[in-house]
Amino acid sequence: MELDKALEYAVFLAWEDLMKVTKPCSVRVEYQCEPGASLDNLRIWSGGGGGYQHLVCNYWTWRSSAHSSGIHFSNSYDSEQLAQALDFILMNQDQFTRRADACRDGLVLIYPPTGDERTEAATWMGGVHGPASNFGGAADKRVPLSWLSLNNRRPGTLAALNPQAGQPLSTSVN
């Protein structure tokens, strides 16, 4: 599955949570990623009428003196579904593809999802978080502990990773 499609699914899953703050006409996911490198940071913006944009969140895969790792919601936004989906996607980037001609700056523009699109996103997320995955993740050696969010309000959530070493996660829609 393409990374942009997975990010779109993450937003579809959180759409109801985003509507609690403002009724977005669209949502924009922005990221920078050098070809062949891992994505370090992304930003999600909610677009309302009149061209106004509201920052929903930032997500960092690493921490520095300027920021901690993980998701950081802004402007009264909060979504457990978005946080879990982004944790999974960004901690398992090697399981997703990017187009060969993709440029450094990524942009995913998302409009209000249909019921079928939300069902498709939930089916995909349920499939990758099925019995072969582990949300606890602490014992999994594939993810450095430095990737844990310092402000993680969800005890025990790391990323849903396959505990069977060497077997890729299923990222296809059933």
pLDDT in tens, 104-158: 889 999 999 999 999 999 999 888 765 434 343 322 323 332 333 333 333 333 3
Per the domain annotation, does 159 fall within a domain? no
Residue 57: domain span: 3-147
Mean pLDDT of the region 49-55: 87
Per the domain annotation, does 70 fall within a domain? yes
Q: Note the pTM of the prediction, 2 decimals.
A: 0.73
Give the count of domains, the chain: 1
Q: Say if residues 32 and 41 touch (Cβ distance below 8 Å).
A: yes
The more confidently predicted of residues 135 and 40 is 40
Per the domain annotation, does 77 fall within a domain? yes
